[in-house]
Structure 1
Amino acid sequence: MDSKKSNQLDRRKFLGLSALGLSSLTILPSWTINGIKIAPSDRVTMGFIGLGQQGMNDFRSFSAVPGVEVVAGCDVDSMKTERFKRTVEEWQQSLGLSPRVDKYEQYEELLERKDIDAVEICTPDHWHALQTIHACQAGKDVYVQKPLSFTIVEAEKMVRVANDTKRIVQVGSQQRSSAEFQKAIALVQSGAIGHIDKVYAKVGDPPAPLDLPEMKVPGNLNFNLWMGPLNDPKIHYHPDLCPPISLDPAEREKLWGAWRWYRETGNGFTADWGAHMFDIAQAAIGMDGSGPAEIIPKGVDGADYLTFKYLNGVVMTEQPYLEDMPNAQGIKFVGDDGWIEVARGYLACSKSELVPDELRGRRPRNLTPEERRKMFEEMQKAQAKGGGSFEISSPHMDDFISCVRSRQKPIAPVEVGASTAITCCLGNMATELQRSVKWNPATHSFGTDKEAWNHRLYDYEYRGSYKL
């Protein structure tokens, strides 16, 4: 046998042994396969909370990370927990493992399990804080989807609890793990285009008032539990908020959960894409863990776009980063010695020699909302046939699992997720108040601005018995 091959651990064998044989071997410090020692602690056992289409995509990403086991899933829609169970058990069988996935409606029951090391939280934004905090208090490490929180106070408390409990928390802003964005950040911070004065970060519109008609709640959905802490009498069930699926025949969701587009249930594109683009922009200009000092909404004080002013002099505006492509989400850094443009799969610089060939990619397409919808439908059809994927981000998951093992900070830690989520909240607050808002990013204070202190996106009273 080739000696090189004999010293390589086959991933299928690793997962098979860790799942089937680890329980009887945990008293041993290690065991050997093909001459390679494998520590029992290399196994990371996971539970998933929130099993919509993003949760399913995240499972596919985590399933590509060696040493990961998935043993439980939780959702308020019983059809989605059953879909998850079938999908995970099929994966387990493909690895030669005995299929076993437990289903839950109440996430607290999943967190009580002592055999779960880490959880993935992929619920609507208004659930992120409670579930992350409870997971940390239960001794679990957490991968929580972006944006980190629904309000500013939630973000602050999530940071405090994560640090107090010494848990690893990775925020799902997966662009942090993408080569084109990492290169853009490195170029800006190295001074490759000189001093940065402006950043154009195109993300999209803020949320609109909820205008969906009320409809009957299907029997497979616990909508009261979906609501959780939300405390607004205008919220009612509509299938766009909780996109339905079919098991037989298998049909995925036909749209993203529309809760994100409405003020009562989400923070619009400002947070949905701001958690990506504002996040990268702040990383590049040295504002990770900090934030803007003044936020000016579009149409106020001469601002043509939502504007964020930072204490280091940088001004970030929510405007097209490509003049001929106003609908494309991405970032442009403007320095006194050139510019850098970056989006998913695309990186360009006024000094073209600074961009490696493998990162140039294709210029983004200028898609209208209708074209985006059609593109998504085509991707859904491809997935239904067993091919294609949507927003799969294994490098980001791999970083999280590595940090669970090493206890080092991940690439998108809770502090960074908090500063980004707060920036998104501030943008929506200024837009709704229709005036400039001053914010002290060091003390997290609005000073004497009582209207800002009392805004629902700073904090709101949870419904019923729910407490933060």
Structure 2
Amino acid sequence: MMKNNSRRKFIKKAGAAISTAFAFPTIIPASALGRNGYVPPSDRINLAFIGAGNQAGNDVKSFLEDERVQITTICDVNKQSAGYWDGKVAGREFIMKMVDDAYGEKYGKKYKSCRGYEDFRDVIGRKDIDAVEIVTPDHWHAIPVLMAAEAKKDIYCQKPLALTVAEGRAMSDAVKKHEVVFQTGSQQRSNTHFRRVCELVRNGKIGELQTATCSLPAGTPDFGKTGHLTETVPVPKGFNYDMWLGPAPEAPYCPARTHVNFRWILDYSGGMVTDWGGHHPDIAQWGMDTEYTGPVKIQNAKATWADHPIWNTATEFYFECIYENGLKLIVTSSESNGVKFSGTEGSVWASRGEHDADPKSILGAEIGPDGTHLYKSDNHFRNFIDCVLSREETIAPAEVAHRSITIAHLGNIAMMLEQDLEWDPQQERFTNNEEANKMLSRKMREPWDKVYQKYMV
């Protein structure tokens, strides 16, 4: 296989060809791909997956469809087991077989090119890997991103971006310093319904914007079918549980704690508030034109918390974010899933697969050539590869993702403290509550605390 520096030259050459032809690249010209438009295997972008759960299985399928990519590496602390979405099987060997089977079917021969690793550091250290997708639990986003950025790997990181505000800031700063391409898995930005609604708002088609409402799902659904398995049991063979915990506090193993149900434990995630908070508040900020800032106040926060031996995230929630210009963003679990923008002359609403307006006449509003036209992407995964080639910014860059998920983190903190909080979005500190400031970061378990500090900008 071609050495990494040669492949980088190909990437740069192909990217230059694309940039000349397209404002936002979508495909490589056939002349850059070789005969019949196919990319030779030695010239494809070598992509590694760090994380091999249910979301990895979905994302692998999307990257397998891109002829410019070669998935070469799968890393996960779990060899293979059930306990993922709907109790299904996933893990390192399961995803490796998925990749090899797909390439075998595509190329008409038995294909065994995918290598498996347990430790992500071995993956990041490989010189022949151009890009990584990090699709681990939330508490395992920051350190791999910091290390991959320093190693000059381009990064696709699943949402929510970070476990804490402090980790998100460190990740965004590292991406900027090391000049790597970064895509966050907030794929609603590559959805025509959300983009259309945000353009209508940004172009004044609902009058003066007053309120944005993000309606997120409620509850702690037992996605892994393991919620009842809360008793301490031996760690299954083939599962490096200590590595799975990583920087999180030490805790006894039980099936309800790991795999897809990690989302309902505050040591590893933030419940539905951060799970869907990586989606709808991100769209709200896009429509409000507040992508690079944040609210100045979090108020009227209230929540009902999980009644479960291990799960402890919010099951019902409500909070309001007030911006310096008077805009209000409401995050709630009590309305229909979607994002609604309300203005002085009407409202628009979007969810996955549809959008609507009141009055209906807003739907047909035209946006002229001098109007605001938002970044257009119709495929989140291809947009990442386009930008790896062109070196342009992706549709969901790190700083934007950090600002968006900060809203969810602020909401969780306000609901835990049951207090109104004042926030400085420039300094990223609370101005009226030192206890809340302590919750902007988490203490990491040794030795990962030292690793984190080493790679911070």
Per the TM superposition, whether the score is higher than 0.5 is: yes
Q: Separation in 2 of the partners of 1:62 and 1:425?
A: 30
Distance in structure 1 (CA, Å) of the matches to 2:319 and 2:96: 43
* Map of 2:208 onto structure 1: 195
Secondary structure of 2:200's partner? Answer: helix
Aligned residues: 388
Residue 440 to residue 90, structure 1, CA distance change in 2 (3 Å):
same
Once residues 216 and 166 of structure 2 are traced to their aligned partners in structure 1, the CA distance between those partners, rounded to angstroms, is 23
Structure 2 distance, partners of 1:33, 1:444, is: 49
Residue 442 of structure 2 corresponds to: 460
What is the 5 A alignment of 1:166-315? 166-205=179-218, 212-231=230-249, 233=250, 235-243=251-259, 257-299=260-302, 305-315=318-328
Q: Which residue of 2 aligns with 1:317?
A: 330
RMSD: 2.9
Matches within 5 A, 1:374-385: none
Distance 1:69 1:356 in 2: 42
1:336 shift after superposition:
0.4
**d(CA) in 1 for partners of 2:241, 2:39:** 44
**Corresponding position: 1:68 with 2:69:** yes
Structure 2 contact 193–355 (Cα < 8 Å) conserved: yes
The gaps in structure 2 that reach 5 residues or longer are 14-30, 81-90, 222-226, 304-316, 366-376, 453-457
TM-score, reference length from structure 1: 0.77
Question: How far, CA to CA, are the matches of 2:206 and 2:32 in structure 1?
Answer: 52
Change (3 A) 1:222 1:278: same
| More moved, 31-40 vs 405-414 | 31-40
Q: CA deviation at 1:274?
A: 1.1
Code of the residue aligned with 1:396 in structure 2: it is: H
Q: Deviations over 1:435-462 (max 9, x none)?
A: 011111122122352111212xx11221
Query: Greater CA deviation, 94-103 or 413-422?
Result: 94-103
Quote the Cα distance in structure 2 between the aligned partners of 1:31 and 1:202. Answer: 45
Q: Which amino acid aligns with 1:436?
A: D
Unaligned ranges ≥5, structure 1: 1-19, 244-256, 321-325, 358-392
How many percent identity over aligned positions? Answer: 31
2 CA distance for matches of 1:314 and 1:207?
30
Return the TM-score normalized by structure 2. Answer: 0.79
Paired with 1:240 and 1:401, the residues of 2 have a C-alpha distance of: 36
SS of equivalent residue, structure 1 residue 408: coil
Q: Is the contact between residue 154 and residue 182 of structure 2 (CA under 8 Å) also seen in structure 1?
A: yes
Which amino acid in 2 is paired with 1:450? E
* 1:378-401 deviations in Å (ceiling 9; x for gaps): xxxxxxxxxxxxxxx981000000
Shift in Å, 1:51: 0.4
Q: Within 5 Å, which residues of 2 pair with 1:337-348?
A: 337-348=345-356
**Structure-1 residue corresponding to 2:52:** 51
What's the CA shift string for 1:171-193, capped at 9, x where partnerless? 00000000000101100000000
Q: CA separation in 1, counterparts of 2:94 and 2:41?
A: 30
Shift of 1:150: 0.2
Counterparts of residues 350-361 of structure 1 (less than 5 Å): 350-355=358-363
User: What residue is the counterpart of 2:401 in the other structure?
Assistant: 417
1:114 aligns with one of 117, 120, 127: 127
- 1:405-453 CA distances to partner (integer Å, 9 max, x unpaired)? 0110100000011101211110000000100111111221223521112
Letter of the structure 2 residue corresponding to residue 454 of structure 1: K
Partners of 2:49 and 2:338 in 1: CA distance: 30
Equivalent residue letter for 2:263:
R
Structure 1 residue 34 displacement after superposition:
4.8
Answer yes or no: is 1:165 the counterpart of 2:166: no
Shift of 1:292: 1.2
Equivalent in 127, 148, 171 of residue 135 of structure 1:
148
Please state how far the C-alpha of 1:143 moved relative to its aligned partner: 0.2
> Do the aligned residues in 2 keep the contact of 1:31 with 1:37 (CA within 8 Å)?
no
